[in-house]
Amino acid sequence: MDTPKNRPHRIDPRDRAQLAESPVSARRVISYFRPHRWQVAAVVALIVASSLISMASPFLLRIVIDDALPHQDVRLLLLTVGGMLLVTIATALIGVQQTWISTRVGQAVMHRLRTDVFTHLQRQAMSFFTRTRSGEIQSRITQDVAGMQSIVTSTAVSIASNLTTAVATAVAMVALSWRLSLFSLLVLPPAIWTTRKVALARREITARRQRRLADLQAQVSEELSVSGALLSKTLGTAERGARAFTETSTDLVGLEVRSELAGRWRMATMSIVFAAIPALIYLVAGLPATGGGMTIGTIIAFTTLQAGIFRPIMGLLNVGASWVASMALFSRVFGYLDLQAEVVPPAQPVELDPRTVRGDVRIEGVSYGYPDTDRLALEDVDVTVPAGSHLALVGATGSGKSTLASLLVRLADPTCGRITIDGVDLRDLDPQVLTRVVGIVTQETYLAHDTIRANLLLADPDADDARLWQALATAQAADLVAALPDGLDTVVGARGHRFSGGEKQRIAIARTLLRDPAVLVLDEATSALDNDTERELQTALDALARGRTTITIAHRLSTIESADQILVLASGRVVERGDHGALLRQGGAYARLAGRDLALTA
């Protein structure tokens, strides 16, 4: 019969394309199983033992029918029936043990793969995350790895189990009757061919069903997320989204029905054939020319074996497609593991105590070009920022301000030149030390979907409530949090949607205060806020910057008038430098920006 277990599979063309693009060596796959080689050997041994033990049942059945029952031999009957029970118990116990070991091995391999991919992706530069869909990353870590576990483990077990069972069954059939074995060989090929035809037809429909199911999941993810719900409510697209969802769901209903009905006439025919096979065997066994004096026990034992040989043969036919599918998944996962990190931690980091860092920053001849373009985003930028001073970066959109900020926190490394803190190149610092030395507040504040307390403790897991409230007070957010029913234990919601932009910024500033960095980067932290909220937030930013080396990327020039020095960037180059008054007197690019800023705020 056509069941999910014996349903044959055709190699998916997409799997072939994936392997052609990123071949996978068997040695690399085996390396993940090498630490578990003894467990794998034990699984194979258990499978072989189970298959061989189970072959005793038909022979015991023949003894019962031919000897024990006709001769009323109670002792022999008890021995053979007891033997049959022992075979059943032994194969069941072996099956449990084999499943336990193989599952543990599979889970251990998948655990290593998941953690390897996760930690490796954490080392990737921000450019990787900006060009890669988050859903793609999640799919490879969860679905692909999970698919590998089920396919690889089942493939290895399937090869050993089905091969052993098929060979043992064939040998047992020949031992019982070579004549009936030859007859069975004539019946099996058309039966296998017909079943494969049905399965291939169903596979095509199943592939279409899976694509539509993916569409349905994507619609749920997009329409029912926080951002999607906000978009549908503000644009009035809820009805349109519901229609699209209904259409996809309706298609799925049709595909499910077609999948169940596909090949039903063929399978009905095959059911008749399989039901007729025992009768034909009885006919062949009863004819003088072919029977050869076979006993009734031999015939019944043979039909039992013949009925069971179909499943392992079909399982072996599926191995090729399953192997290619598993290798394709390995290829996708290894593709991430083979990504070269753009920002590499130093092999021997320079020792630097964050508590004693003064905060002297030097940007020495820094140029930077994005990997996918020949144009330099920064070119020969050179500036010294003494400890405790304030540097402001201004310029039009695309001038290179944010690129320089990303280099300061080492989201990328300069193409040329270097950036140092207290004389130490950022590339020579341990990443964990660097995050304690340099803090950043951006306009796109991210709060994890957790409590306010949990978000603050990301900066300092050991901070007590007194320190949390002190940081919130300095960030002008203590009254906001105290007014909430659950206080610090208030859940902020997805991406902090429970709070306004200014409120999220204050919580983020409190989080940075807990980190207590010697160097602070403010990347247009107030550009997305209105004037009133910006003025309120500026007090918190001033408190955060006090006593630290501060580098501000300015959106409104009024926020950096007191800066010790200002750099004006254009097309990645420094075109002017000086303080606010001196730059205004020059009447150049800064003065034009100041005039435009004044006109916008008037």
494 domain residue, yes or no? yes
Are 358 and 336 within one domain? no
Give the span between the Cα atoms of 381 and 475, in whole angstroms: 32
Alpha carbon 536 to its chain's center: 41
Q: How far apart, in whole angstroms, are the C-alpha atoms of residue 47 and residue 154?
A: 13
Residue 381 and residue 481 in one domain: yes
103 is in which domain, residue-wise? 12-176+312-342
Q: Which of 470, 463, 378 is CA-nearest to residue 418?
A: 378
Contact 8, 320 (CB under 8 A): no
Tokens for 79, please give them.
Answer: 């021995």
Is residue 320's pLDDT more than 60?
A: no
Q: Give the position of tokens 């194969």.
A: 91
**Higher pLDDT pick, 272 / 42:** 42
Instruction: Report the amino acid identity of residue 80.
Output: T
Buried b (16+ CB within 10 A) or exposed e, 120-154: ebeebbebeeeeeeeeebeebbeebbebbbebbbb
The rounded radius of gyration (Å) of the Cα atoms in the chain is: 36
Shared domain check, 474 and 326: no
Same domain, 124 and 64: yes
Separation of alpha carbons 245 and 208, rounded Å:
16
- Answer whether residue 527 is part of any domain: yes
- What share of the chain has pLDDT > 70, as a percent? 71
pLDDT at 599: 42
Residues 333 and 440 in one domain: no
- My answer on whether 459 and 550 are in the same domain is yes
Give the pLDDT band (50/70/90) at residue 297. confident
The reply to whether 330 and 369 lie within a common domain is: no
144 lies in some domain: yes
Tell me the CATH number at 378. 3.40.50.300
CB of 329 closer than 8 Å to CB of 148: yes
Which H or E element spans position 400?
Answer: none
Do 330 and 362 lie in a common domain?
no
- Asked whether residue 235 is domain-assigned, the answer is no
Work out the number of other CB atoms within 10 angstroms of the CB of residue 300: 19
Residue 59, token pair as written in the block: 């022979």
Which of 342, 362, 380 terminates a domain? The answer is 342
DSSP H/E element including 367:
strand 361-369
76: domain CATH number is: 1.20.1560.10
Query: Is residue 30 domain-resident?
Result: yes
CB environment 165-197: b (16+ within 10 A), e (fewer):
bbebbbebbebbbebbbebbeebeeebbebbbe
- DSSP secondary structure of 287-309: SHHHHTT--HHHHHHHHHHHHHS
Distance of alpha carbon 331 from alpha carbon 412, whole angstroms: 27
Average per-residue pLDDT in the chain?
Answer: 77
* Residue-wise pLDDT tens digits, 97-146: 888 888 888 888 888 888 888 888 877 777 777 776 655 677 677 767 77
- Give the DSSP letter of residue 558: G
Return all residues near 187 (Cβ < 8 A) that are at least 6 apart.
273, 277, 280
Q: Is there a contact between 427 and 418 (Cβ–Cβ < 8 Å)?
A: yes
Rounded to an integer, the average pLDDT of 532-540 is: 66
* Domain match, 535 and 579 both: yes
How far is the C-alpha of 189 from the C-alpha of 187, rounded, in Å? 6
Angle 439-445-449 (CA atoms, 0-180°, nearest 5)?
A: 110
Tens-digit pLDDT profile for residues 72-99: 888 888 898 898 899 889 988 988 888 8
| CA separation, residue 94 to residues 44, 61, 86, 158, 209 (Å) | 11, 22, 12, 15, 37
- The more confident residue out of 111 and 157 is 111
What is the mean predicted confidence (pLDDT) over 565-583?
A: 89
pLDDT value at residue 383: 92
pLDDT tens per residue across span 4-47: 444 444 555 655 565 666 677 778 877 888 888 898 888 888 88
> Coil, strand, or helix at residue 565?
strand
Looking at the chain, the whole-number percentage of residues with pLDDT higher than 90 is 5
* Predicted local distance difference test score (pLDDT) of residue 572: 87
- My answer on whether 71 and 101 are in the same domain is yes
Cα–Cα distance for residue pair 105/239, rounded to 1 Å: 49
Flag whether 316 is in a domain.
yes
pLDDT of residue 191: 62
Specify the pLDDT at position 363: 92
User: pTM to 2 decimals?
Assistant: 0.66
Per the listing, tokens 């690019």 go with 589
Q: Is residue 291 assigned to a domain?
A: no
- Phi and psi at residue 295, to the nearest 5°: -80, 165
Residue 10 gets the label, from left (phi > 0), alpha (psi -120 to 50) or beta, of: beta
User: Per the structure, how many domains does the chain have?
Assistant: 2
For Cα atoms 437, 438, 439, give the angle at the middle one, nearest 5 degrees. 125
Alpha-carbon distance 600 to 531, whole Å?
11
pLDDT in tens, 167-202: 777 787 777 777 777 776 666 676 666 666 665 565
Q: Assess whether 326 and 421 both reside in one domain.
A: no
Contacts of 417 (CB under 8 A, 6+ apart): 363, 364, 365, 366, 367, 380, 381, 382
Q: What is residue 499's DSSP assignment?
A: S
Residue whose token pair is 């190149």:
425
The residue with greater pLDDT, 269 or 212, is: 212
**pLDDT tens digits, one per residue of 487-500:** 888 888 766 677 87
Nearest to 511 by CA among 452, 428, 431: 452
Domain shared by 319 and 383, yes or no: no
Q: Are residues 343 and 123 in contact, defined by beta-carbon separation less than 8 angstroms?
A: yes
- Among 49, 40, 58, CA closest to 90: 49
Nearest-CA neighbor of 556 among 584, 521, 596?
596
pLDDT digits (tens, 9 = 90+) for 428-471: 998 888 888 888 887 777 787 788 898 888 888 888 989 999 88
Question: What's the pLDDT at 7?
Answer: 44
- State the Cα–Cα distance between residues 369 and 127, nearest whole angstrom: 12
> Is position 266 within any domain?
no
CA angle at 401 for the pair 398 and 403, rounded to the nearest 5°: 85
pLDDT of residue 6: 44
Summarize pLDDT for 584-599 with one digit per residue, the tens: 888 888 888 777 654 4
Check if the beta carbon of residue 153 is closer than 8 Å to that of residue 106: yes
